[in-house]
Amino acid sequence: MWDQCIDALLGIWNTSGSIPEPAPSNATIDAAIRILREMRRIDPTNTPICIVPAPDGGIIVEWRNDLNGTESIQTVAFLNDGTIEIVTYRDGFAESRTLEEGFPT
């Protein structure tokens, strides 16, 4: 499943015509792929459930887990301005949010 996630990111070049503008930038796609590869190395069983284009340019990767009967959703948004935003939702409400300025090199 990890390979399908990374293929979907690589495939943006072929499907960019169907993604509403602004499409994810080269740097954004590159950062998302590098970080997903690193996450796969750390925990191969924890695959994302969903990848969507961010409305203002970027990529949002989503994980869902069941925690004691409540749904926990974690999203990592790679935005074209170089920001990475990590938000954890519990039962539909944001529980925590972290913002990283600048993609890791």
Partner 1 sequence: MSAGEEDGASSTKTPTVDPDEILVRQIKVGGGRPLFFDETRAAPPFVDRSLFLPSPNDVDGLSLIRLRYRSEVWAAFRSNTPDQRYRLARLLPSALIECARSVGIEWLHFNPSPDGLDRQHGEPWAHCNVQEINRKDYENKSDRTAKDRILA
Q: Which residues bind partner 1 (CB under 8 A)?
A: 1, 4-5, 8-9, 11-12, 15, 18-20, 47-56, 59-60, 64, 77, 87, 89, 92-94, 97, 99
Beta carbon nearer to partner 1, 16 or 38:
16
Work out how close the CB of 84 gets to partner 1 at its nearest, in angstroms, rounded to a whole number.
13
Alpha-carbon span 66 to 33, nearest angstrom: 26
| Identity of the residue, 69 or 92, whose beta carbon is nearer to partner 1 in the bound complex | 92
